[in-house]
Structure 1
Amino acid sequence: MAVDDVVLVTGGTGFIGFRTLRYALEEGYTVRAAVRSEAKAEAIRRNSTLSSIKDLSSKLTFVTVPDFLADGAFDEAVKGVKYVLHVASPLTTGFTVTDDLEAGIIKPAVQGTLGLFQSAKKAPSVKRIVVTSSMVAIPPIAVLIGQQASERDFTPKDRAHDVPGPYPAVIVAYVQSKIAALKEGEAWIEKHKPEFDVIHIHPSYVGGRNDLAQTVEELCTGTNPIFLESVLGKDSDEYAGPRVANYIDVDDVAKAHVLSLSEKVAGGQSFLLTNKGGDMKWNDAQAIAKKHFPDAVSSGLLPNDFAEQQFMVVHCDISKTEETFGKIKAYEETIKAVVGQYLELKEKAK
């Protein structure tokens, strides 16, 4: 890695994006973070987890992109950068099934990816883009919702078919947004054959310590509630009902993004970021909490009594992932990190 290798990071004010940004800095990259406002940039600068980064002011810079979906939105942002970590993508927060989910979630996911590709094609310095996709873009949705058994190991080369609307739940529209962005992105690359190559990262449910969370409420957003629900004795609102028992630690997701920039990793690949499937249950978190936080369990601070609902298992071949990036963290380590931070924030709020 040359000292002048600049990495553009989108989505750096989110759970995965910030951890990825921090990992890139720790690995010695110069990071340019695309943010929508100066206030967003300041939130990153102030984060205490970056205090140990040497020469932070010169290693971390910002470019303001008010509207990621505008024509040519990233034209200036990509100038002079060698790599792009494209983590930003529409989330389900704030949407209901009565909203126009095609316009609110699906089209922005596709447009954000293709717009970045179009900008990068104009910048000869860009050599690789790593895109945060999702495991939901790999198996059929019938497997994800339990209508079809996972009878084989899915691989990073598998692709799910489109899920047509209308959508019975917001999360289904999110699934389609990931399917469509991946399909349209790969088709664009095939058609335009740019100078840069692309790697897609496909995480399952992501949990772990959230460096951005300063309160319990902030920790209990995104997918972390799924990891906490068994020990807190309640169902996470947005993800109520059966779900696949597939997880990945946020540290492993960040690591995979950044290590994908290495010339040792060939472009044009996809990587599944998940456990194998069938090797954990969400309620295993209760035994982990009792082991590592016995006082919090005995006092009732961690009720640890949630009766687990049905879950599905998606069997995945992650051999290429672990050969390339190393063995993924155990579920126990992820639960220990999330519950530990929850208890820290509860103590802080006293």
Structure 2
Amino acid sequence: MAPNDVVLVTGGTGFIGFATLKKALEDGYTVRAAVRSEAKADNLRTNPSIKKYSSKLSFVVVPDILAPHAFDEAVKGVKYILHLASPLTTGISLEDDLNAHVINPAVIGTVSICNSAAKEASVKRIVICSSIVAIVPVESLTGAQAPDHAFRPEERAHDVPGPYPAVIVAYVQSKIAALKEAEAWVEKEKPSFDVIHIHPSFVGGRNDLARNLEELKTGTNFYFLAPVLGQEAATAAGPRVASYVDVDDVAKAHVLSLNEKVAGNQSFMLSGEGEMSWDGAKAIAAKHFPDAVGKVFPNDGESAPFPFSVPADNSKTVETFGKLRTYEETVKAVVGQYIELSQQAA
């Protein structure tokens, strides 16, 4: 890494994207963040966890990532791209056109940034945030079929055709389709840069974007917190599987993938090691924060057990990026931040 190397980060206003943007700054990269508006740029500029890196952070406004040539200006002069922008399912229902709102945008955004990068000779590598759902068949993710082996990063899930029984299944297909199209694009175009895909499992951990308790509970962290907060997290409520990874490990994998000693054009799975159960968060909270039980949180919620875990072969991931955090470490981080924000609100 040279002092003037610039990395473009998309999706930096999201949970995983912001953790990755922060990690890139901490590791000494000069970061250009693609955001949808100046207001979103201002929100990042004022975040206390990255204010000290202001001299290494700049912004480019890309109002519509689905517009033709959306990233052409954003990629100019950059050496690396961390592509984490992807459609969310928040506010989308089964009455909406799921192809138009979820699946097609994921594919178009990914191919678009590849096309823009192909016009810019400075680009050497793109790291794309995919998902474990692009590798593990949907039957195993939903608990309908027990897996008979540990899934490897080279495997690919089969397409899930509509109509979709739930919005989250369309999200699964969006990740499958985006990965397939990106790999087909590389095979056809043979660009001068290479591409790495990162496949996280269910992501939780400290969220430095969260300014209050409601923001901390939004998204996947809800499922790590629900038993501690005395709430019920039903399987039908969202994309929950018996497999997790800490957001800081996801950020680390993306940023370390920029090291050119890591071979390009490959995939990495990120799924935490060891046994876990969603209800196990209560024992972890009681162990690390005994004084908060009954005062800050009731610690008596329920999460229905999943019929089986989703085993992943992390050997290449650990060899390349180091050991992954345990479920206990992830829960401790989230619950610890919940207590911090509770004290600030008091």
TM-score (norm: length of structure 1): 0.96
Distance 1:176 1:242, change over 3 A: closer
Percent of aligned positions that are identical: 67
2:254 to 254, 257, 270: 257
Deviation at 1:240, TM superposition (A): 2.3
Distance 1:289 1:49, change over 3 A: same
1:310 to 291, 297, 305: 305
Aligned to 1:80: 77
Amino acid of the structure 2 residue aligned with 1:18: F
Q: Distance in 2 between matches of 1:259 and 1:239?
A: 35
2:156 to 159, 165, 168: 159
Question: Unpaired segments of 5 or more residues in structure 1?
Answer: none
Aligned to 1:2: 2
Is the 2:235–2:304 contact (alpha carbons within 8 Å) kept by the matching residues of 1?
no
Report 1:216-295 matches (<5 A). 216-236=213-233, 240=237, 243-276=240-273, 279-295=275-291
Aligned to 2:131: 134
Q: Distance in 2 between matches of 1:84 and 1:241?
A: 30
1:336 to 326, 332, 335: 332
Question: Is 1:213–2:213 an aligned residue pair?
Answer: no
Report 1:85-96 matches (<5 A). 85-96=82-93
Q: How many residues align?
A: 345
Distance 1:242 1:61, change over 3 A: closer
Of the structure 1 ranges 242-251 and 63-72, higher mean CA displacement relative to structure 2 is found in 242-251
Q: Distance in 1 between matches of 2:338 and 2:234?
A: 18
Amino acid of the structure 2 residue aligned with 1:302: F
Question: Is 1:296–2:307 an aligned residue pair?
Answer: no
Q: Distance in 2 between matches of 1:162 and 1:241?
A: 20
Amino acid of the structure 1 residue aligned with 2:66: L
Structure 2 SS opposite 1:92: coil
Is the 1:106–1:174 contact (alpha carbons within 8 Å) kept by the matching residues of 2?
yes
Amino acid of the structure 2 residue aligned with 1:206: V
Is the 1:241–1:309 contact (alpha carbons within 8 Å) kept by the matching residues of 2?
no
Distance 1:19 1:243, change over 3 A: closer
Is the 1:85–1:257 contact (alpha carbons within 8 Å) kept by the matching residues of 2?
yes
Deviation at 1:50, TM superposition (A): 1.1
Q: Distance in 1 between matches of 2:125 and 2:18?
A: 20
Q: Distance in 2 between matches of 1:235 and 1:159?
A: 33
Per-residue CA deviations over 1:170-228 (Å, capped at 9, x if unaligned) read 11110000000001110111011111100000001111111110011111111100110
Distance 1:239 1:218, change over 3 A: farther
Amino acid of the structure 2 residue aligned with 1:314: V
Q: Distance in 2 between matches of 1:127 and 1:247?
A: 31
Aligned to 2:25: 25
Distance 1:241 1:89, change over 3 A: closer
Q: Distance in 2 between matches of 1:346 and 1:150?
A: 40
Q: Distance in 2 between matches of 1:51 and 1:187?
A: 39
Question: Is 1:102–2:99 an aligned residue pair?
Answer: yes
Question: Unpaired segments of 5 or more residues in structure 2?
Answer: none
Structure 2 SS opposite 1:98: coil
Q: Distance in 1 between matches of 2:34 and 2:81?
A: 10
Amino acid of the structure 1 residue aligned with 2:334: V
